[in-house]
Amino acid sequence: MNLLFDMRRAADMTQAEVADALGRPQTYVSAVEVGRRGVDVVQVREFCAVYDVAFSDFAVNYEKRLKSSASKERPPRLSTRKRGASKKTAKLKTGKGASKAK
């Protein structure tokens, strides 16, 4: 489970409320929480400010999660690319599926 998600729940806030406080759409908060969108340190500090959590506390909790056995395996990354796209690209690169010119 994502630490930012847990912090939002602890702050008793909805994604919409957080998004409003950040000046971003709700979909941004959702994408960050499920791992489809990465965040840098500046953005993490913005989330911490919204949740009224010191960045140093976030860092300590983050390190604890990294060290815990549950966090040793990274969850699978969600792909926005359609499954057939990579096969189609491979065919084009190898010449398979391309029409032969006479």
Q: Which domains does the chain have, with CATH numbers?
A: 3-94 (1.10.260.40)
If you ran DSSP here, which 8-state letter would residue 61 be given?
H
Pull the structure tokens for residue 92. 């084009």
| Per-residue confidence (pLDDT) for residue 67, from 0 to 100 | 84
- The series of mean pLDDT values per 10 residues for the chain, 102 residues long, is 89 97 97 94 96 96 81 60 54 55 50
Radius of gyration of the chain (CA): 20
Going by C-alpha positions, the residue among 65, 5, 57 that lies closest to residue 36 is: 5
How far is Cα 97 from Cα 83, in angstroms, rounded to an integer? 17
Using alpha carbons, list the distances in angstroms from residue 80 to 28, 34, 77, 85.
15, 13, 10, 11
- The one-letter code for the residue type at 84 is G
